[in-house]
Amino acid sequence: MQFPSLSNLNVWRVSATMTVWTFLLLTILLLKSDVAYCNYLVGLGSYDITGPAADVNMMGYANTEQIASGVHFRLRSRAFIVAEPKGNRLVFVNLDACMGAQLVTIKVLERLKARYGDVYTENNVAISGIHTHAGPGGYLQYVVYIVTSLGFVRQSFDALVDGIEKSIVQAHENLRPGSIFVNKGELLDAGVNRSPSAYLNNPAAERSKYKYNVDKEMSLLKFVDDEWGPSGSFNWFATHGTSMSRTNSLISGDNKGAAARFMEDWFERKSSVRKDSVGFEDDGLPRRISNIIPSLHDNHHELLELAASFQSPPGRPAAKTSSVARRVRGALRQVNKPRFVSAFCQSNCGDVSPNVLGAFCTDTGLPCDFNHSTCGGKNELCYGRGPGYPDEFESTRIIGERQFKKAVELFNGASEQIKGKVDFRHAYLDFSKLEVNVSSNGASKVVKTCPAAMGFGFAAGTTDGPGAFDFKQGDDQGNPFWKLVRNLLKTPDKEQIACQQPKPILLDTGEMKLPYDWAPTILPIQILRIGQFFILSVPGEFTTMAGRRLRDAVKTVLSGDKSLGSNIHVVIAGLTNTYSQYVTTYEEYEVQRYEVSCNFCGKRHEPCLDCSSKRK
């Protein structure tokens, strides 16, 4: 194939995403035809996935020194199943984990097949991560994601697979007739853009359509059992799981995991405590876990010594008839009522930070450089501050509380009922050699994608977790020393270098195969439909504007179907089924901030996907 000159790269630059989203939009046409409304079968489940809590590297910050040494709070897999009584069904799983993983998904599907045959397959099962950076690592199968954990960690992997399977089994066994309602609203104070200079490179006319440089909308599904009443909720909102810093050593679900605990506890206790007008206790949080890390009393150590002096009296095992559930609720039938499940899912969080106070230099206390997030030219000194600064546990609680309160508001006000068919589409695509047809100035041409590569800006990290060795975001040149180090691993050829422009290649991951693949090449793309609610399962982190472009493109296709009505809901479920890093716009790619240094972009005004850049 002939390749255009470097001078024409900006004209012809495209991404595999064009083909991906063409596939998505075409399959939507198949999803659009509606059927008469029928009642759904709805089931929810939840199970522990905490895994090893000590002596394992954490996944997210790529910090070799971040080794787990305890538990902040435990991690869970939360699942919902929606089924037509005599038709299709789908499963969505939300993990208190950094991301979904292809090997985890494969193993879960193998177990589901052994249990249920072909009822649950890769087509109708989605497994998504909340993107906490405080969970055990080592469960992905690609080298670049397990380098800092020094390889594969069987305990992390087994805990995820076991917990996901059990949460789905629980949801399956809880399937009962029910209804689903949807609501959405703005949450203004739980996320800021951590790469604002890149966002500003998007066209001004496009930016003018939006009030904010991050998405502020939360979308929530409310599940209602026909007999028991409300049984759970899942919501999608974009903010990173980085309230807990890169020096934290406690296993944690970060702000979204905290929000889920708050809401589940709120629902469990809301009818047995005195509440204010919006259903909160006096301090706005469930009493049992009003603070994930509680404020210490003045005599804290004295109380600990007193507690340690108590001797446990002999007792007897609790039987069903003497259980707390039986004694408190009174009615025996209530003992078997499924527990309320609430999940706070991730969306297009690529450039969204929960450290809402902004980024400041640790040496001077002044704001970091706007374009590169450096302090005196060094990225290591620039850190984002959460609302509880300098207490990261408090920041985690506050951002979790803000999401929790908005979710409760949406939950209580949800009145639009979901009606229509359950459907799904799924495909595997090889992103290293896709053919994409593009046009410019009336001319069209077929170009190809190329293998993945990571840029110098990747090593600089972000304001949520700076890198080391004086790398810098926005670097479009690289430096000779690190290129020499890179060449010891794999020297990219001229074709790959031209393909990745303007990104200077630090690691040619897509072409590194020893001891096995360093980065994914074949990725799953998936759409789930429940009536007028569509979930776009994507294997990466979309930036704010890339996510907006994707949702708008999908809504444009769906709006042609009058049977769907005017209230079409489209959410992006990020980090689902596997992981391929960031998804940005063409304009953001040109700036080479962190989010684009490990992915590629599409032609102007289109989204772009993952680390597999474009070969033309």
Active-site residue set: 353
Q: 3-class SS at 613?
A: strand
**Cα 340 to Cα 184: distance, rounded to the nearest angstrom:** 20
Q: Are 145 and 15 in contact (CB under 8 A)?
A: no
SS3 content of the chain, % helix, strand, coil (to 5): 30, 25, 45
**Cα 136 to Cα 160: distance, rounded to the nearest angstrom:** 10
Output the DSSP codes for 211-243: SSSS--EEEEEEEEETTTEEEEEEEEE---B-S
Separation of CA 525 from chain center: 15
Q: 3-class SS at 427?
A: strand
**Cα 371 to Cα 79: distance, rounded to the nearest angstrom:** 40
Q: Is 186 annotated as a binding residue?
A: no
Q: 3-class SS at 470?
A: coil
What phi-psi label fits residue 352: left (phi over 0), alpha (psi between -120 and 50 degrees) or beta? beta
> 341 pairs with which residues across the strands?
232
What sign does the dihedral 20-22-25-28 (CA atoms) show?
negative
Residue 151: closest CA among 165, 159, 141, 161? 141
Q: Is 606 annotated as a binding residue?
A: no
Residues composing the chain: 616
The one-character DSSP state at 265 is H
Residue 255: closest CA among 127, 163, 349? 349
Q: Is 569 annotated as a binding residue?
A: no
**Cα 391 to Cα 244: distance, rounded to the nearest angstrom:** 9
Residue 464: closest CA among 94, 67, 98? 98
Token pair of 215 as six digits:
């998405």
Longest C-alpha distance within the chain, in Å? Answer: 85
Output the DSSP codes for 311-332: PPPP--PPPGGGSHHHHHH--G
Angle between helices 154-173 and 102-116 (to 10 degrees): 40
Burial class from Cβ neighbours inside 10 Å (0-12, 13-18, 19+) for residue 615 reads buried
Task: Give the number of other CB atoms < 10 A from CB of residue 366.
Answer: 9
Residue with the two structure tokens 């569509």 = 534
> 426 pairs with which residues across the strands?
526
Q: 3-class SS at 245?
A: coil
**Cα 122 to Cα 128: distance, rounded to the nearest angstrom:** 13
> 135 pairs with which residues across the strands?
59
Q: Is 372 annotated as a binding residue?
A: no
**Cα 352 to Cα 547: distance, rounded to the nearest angstrom:** 12
Binding-site residues, please? 131, 240, 541, 582
Binding-site residues for Zn(2+), please? 131, 240, 541, 582
